[in-house]
Structure 1
Amino acid sequence: MAGHSKWANIQHRKGRQDAKRGKIFTKLIKEITVAAKMGGGDASTNPRLRLAIEKAKGQSLPKDNIDNAIKRGTGQLEGVVYEEVRYEGYGIGGAAVMVDCLTDNKTRTVADVRHAFNKNGGNMGAEGSVAFQFKHCGQMIFAPGTDEARLMDAAIEAGAEDVVTNDDGSIEVITPPNDLATVLEGLEAAGFKAEFAEVVQKPLNESVIGGDDAMKMQKLLDALESLDDVQEVYTSAVIDE
């Protein structure tokens, strides 16, 4: 057993994303473009692109937007050239924070990220300052009440790396990054539907933050996530609702 309020945190995150759907579309289009640029426009041979497209469909991004993003990535259409960049830092109580961005102007992006940290009680660290506290992996989360034994059998059969039951009853399935799409398809074929499925930077150790510190930490995370160039924010902090 592991984790604290994992399910509540996932649901809270999904709620915040739904409230920012216009910005979500922009981030999805960027990710599809970069995925196609790096691995080609064929989703069947490009796991990152396949996941990006599935995520986009889950957010009801129109098919034309998806197709055009792929064409921009493969050079069939002209478009902005994005670069991947990561920033690391600390939040409230020293919680580790990693910020993944896609940008066409690193000078602008680093200034915006540093400002968000400084204004909200955090501070940016040097490259590598917190990265060792995270594991790059595929992560799926299934709702409390899911048949643990059957899910575990199906996950192992599909090629998962680990299955973890959290304190709140939710179940995590962990995979190597490039195997997430394949394992997800295997679990869906077995009748399981993940509420969350992404390649993530998973914290190796989590710290629960409550009270005023929780509100401050959430404000910092919201400030970072609201930046146009930010794709994902990962943290070792678990906000206690």
Structure 2
Amino acid sequence: MGRGPSIEGRKNAEDAKRGKIFTKLIREITVAARNGGDPATNARLRIGIEKALSANMTKDTIERAVKRGSGADGADNMEELRYEGYGPGGVALIIDAMTDNSVRTVADVRHALSKHGGNLGTTGSVAFQFSRVGELVFDTPSPEAEEKILEAALEAGADDVVNGAGQSTVLCAPESFEAVKAAMLAAGFEPISDAVVMRPENRVAVDPEVAETFEALLDWLDELDDVQEVYHNASLPQST
């Protein structure tokens, strides 16, 4: 009989995944720091640092990324790119990347899409199907929990709350994101995820076969170091 992965093998896989997360976080901090290295006056940098600390990144690593981005520690040649396109079943995709080699990045993204029955589109081809919003997700296993989140969210200045699958998603304007998050935390509610995202106006149901291929595409894109975020309008099993 074959044996499962060794403890060492699992640890190496976990370390590799952690390394990829750190790579993406460092790039976000570096680029955000271009608009100023002080998180007190740079909201994007402040959010990036909070995410990095939550991922247990050391303060020294964060500080080096800030210095590099602000020009205090050598030149930073990263650029932000956004790709729009379609996945299998015509699912709309927005792929945000940070790279020092745009030729490599577009080739990698195009290859990932074509391998899974998708294709790149032109700028603006799918963006109109999404809105930029602040999004905070909370576990709400009961109607009572949903009601408490709704009351706190409205008090915090949120625009809407969407319930489903045992979770409540609080939506707000991007410029209100930090204030709404701070108010929710002060009220005793800890989000399981929070970010400013590109949220689809409507989601498209996909059949199981397409969903399997699409999830494989998402995994592929996630493995690309240059890809920071992927947004889509597919309604997948257990997605909200």
The TM-score, its normalising length taken from structure 1, stands at 0.87
Is 1:120 aligned to residue 113 of structure 2? no
Is 1:91 aligned to residue 87 of structure 2? yes
Matching residue within 137, 152, 155 for 1:157:
155
Give me the CA root mean square deviation: 1.9
Q: 1:77 deviation in Å?
A: 0.7
Q: Which moved more, 1:122-131 or 1:154-163?
A: 154-163
Query: Structure 1, residues 158-211: CA drift from partner, whole Å, max 9, x if none?
Result: 221211112x13101111113212211110010000001011111111123342
| Superposed structure 1 runs of 4+ greater than 4 Å apart | none
In structure 1, stretches of 5+ residues that fail to align are 1-16
Which structure has more relative contact order (CA 8 Å, sep 6+)? It is 1
- Larger Rg belongs to: 2
Distance across 2 between alignment mates of 1:111 and 1:91: 16
Match of 1:181 in 2: 178
- Taking a change above 3 Å as real, the CA distance of residues 18 and 202 of structure 1, as seen in their structure-2 partners, is farther
Matching residue within 130, 136, 142 for 1:134:
130
Aligned length: 224
Is 1:196 aligned to residue 193 of structure 2? yes
Identity of aligned residues (%): 50
Match of 1:221 in 2: 218
Match of 1:198, SS state, is: strand
Distance across 1 between alignment mates of 2:89 and 2:177: 32
The TM-score, its normalising length taken from structure 2, stands at 0.88
1:64-79 correspondence runs (5 A)? 64-79=60-75
Distance across 1 between alignment mates of 2:24 and 2:100: 13
In structure 2, stretches of 5+ residues that fail to align are 1-13
Distance across 2 between alignment mates of 1:21 and 1:140: 23
